[in-house]
Amino acid sequence: MNSPHEKVVQAILYGHSCAKRLKLWLEDPMADDRSVSSYDLAKSIVHCFSNAISILSDQPKSEDDQVSDLSSMDSSPPLPHSKRRKINSTNSTKNWRDDSPDPYNDGFLWRKYGQKSIKNSKYERSYYRCSYHIDHDCGARKHEQQIKENPPVYRTTYFGHHTCKINHNHDAVFTAVQDQVDDAGSCRIIRFGKELDQEKGSHSTGFSLSVKHEESIIKEETCTDQYRGITGDDKDCQHVMEENQSSLSSSYTPPLSSVSETDMFDSDLLLNNLDSWDRYGLFDFGVH
DNA sequence: CCTATTTGACCACC
DNA sequence: GGTGGTCAAATAGG
């Protein structure tokens, strides 16, 4: 299992690769693949570094402690006599926070369950839980609150893990880096694909990338080929990909304690994959 | 009719 | 007692 230090290094490495791409973009806007906008690259860099910062600032405990805390936080049902689970502020070390100009679309389906005005803040805070919280007993939640305007900045705080592992969108950096943070997922292939945003009320970042397991590589590549080969319209393949992902996701049960070595975030593999996908013109940062 | 969102009330924590 | 997190009934929308 990677140490927090290694995770930070990996996040920074990925940010570095994006920065290099941005540099190339700026140096020669006419060359190479122009499907990646400078904005998307800049955004991915920001996300990488904010994740690195997040990991560093959340680091006082050993990783094993964090994982056990997280698993207990996620999977254990609320205490019988405590109908409402209260977030202990001292547990904030297990949360993941993101400040973004637009509320972050992390690729998961969320259902809003509350909204409150917060003292000393003129903006209300919205409360979301994973839409699969019943079906898959998924304990993931998030709070979203605007903290600034002009330009608007929204703070999204994530609590717990997605045990559902049903990802409806492929937000590259978030997914990749969050998987590092989670240690629950693996990163075998990273692909920048069309925006798959079907999420109701979601806020598209337009930066799409999926993180796959080894066993799904072939399926995914096949689908991508179909996607690229058959049509420029994303709808059809989007459907196929969602189905694939859905079936893959549903068969995937990631026990937190058994994350294998091969499941660790491999920045070299990731960068290599970025390059190869890029070479084949498979970068495509959604937003249109 | 079903599902998602809104919103007032309830409850735990400080 | 104040504040924030969650519940659940009411409401809206498809």
Q: List pLDDT tens digits, range A27-37.
A: 776 655 555 66
Peptide bond into A151 cis (omega under 30): yes
Residues around strand B, C-beta < 7 Å = A 81-84, 86, 88-90, 111-116, 126, 131, 200-201
Q: How far: A162 CA to C9 C1' (Å)?
A: 28
Cα radius of gyration (chain A): 19
Are the CB atoms for A179 and A190 separated by under 8 Å? no
Nucleotide C8, nearest residue via CA and C1':
A113
Tokens of A94: 């297990």
Q: How far: A276 CA to B5 C1' (Å)?
A: 43
Q: How far: A131 CA to B1 C1' (Å)?
A: 20
Q: How far: A124 CA to B11 C1' (Å)?
A: 20
pLDDT of A172 strictly over 90: no
Would A230 be classed as within a structural domain? Answer: yes
Q: How far: A55 CA to C5 C1' (Å)?
A: 25
Would A9 be classed as within a structural domain? Answer: yes
pLDDT, position A148: 78
- Nucleotide with minimal C1' distance from the CA of A84 is C6
CA–CA separation, A209 and A203 (whole Å)? 16
Q: How far: A44 CA to C14 C1' (Å)?
A: 35
pLDDT of A166 strictly over 60: no
Residues around strand C, C-beta < 7 Å = A 78, 83-87, 113-114, 116, 118-120, 125, 127, 129, 141, 143, 159
The pLDDT-based confidence of A48 (bands split at 50, 70, 90) is low
A13-30 pLDDT per residue, tens: 777 777 777 777 777 766
Q: How far: A82 CA to B6 C1' (Å)?
A: 24
Name the domain count of chain A. Answer: 1
Q: How far: A267 CA to C5 C1' (Å)?
A: 38
Would A50 be classed as within a structural domain? Answer: yes
- Nucleotide with minimal C1' distance from the CA of A127 is C5
A229-260 pLDDT per residue, tens: 333 333 333 443 343 433 333 333 333 333 33
Q: Which nucleotides of C are covered by protein (CB under 7 A)?
A: 2-8
In DSSP terms, A191 is beta-bridged to A210
- Nucleotide with minimal C1' distance from the CA of A131 is B4
Would A87 be classed as within a structural domain? Answer: no
The pLDDT-based confidence of A91 (bands split at 50, 70, 90) is very low
pLDDT of A168 strictly over 60: no
Would A84 be classed as within a structural domain? Answer: no
Residues in chain A: 288
Q: How far: A116 CA to B8 C1' (Å)?
A: 11
- Give the range of the structural domain holding residue A110, as residue numbers without chain letter: 4-74+93-279
Mean pLDDT of chain A: 55
Would A250 be classed as within a structural domain? Answer: yes
**pLDDT, mean of residues A53-73:** 44
Would A82 be classed as within a structural domain? Answer: no
CA–CA separation, A72 and A123 (whole Å)? 32
**Secondary element (H or E) of residue A112:** strand A110-117
Would A133 be classed as within a structural domain? Answer: yes
Helix, strand, coil percentages in chain A from 3-state DSSP, rounded to 5? 45, 15, 40
Burial class (CB in 10 A: 0-12, 13-18, 19+), A170: buried
Q: Which nucleotides of B are covered by protein (CB under 7 A)?
A: 4-14
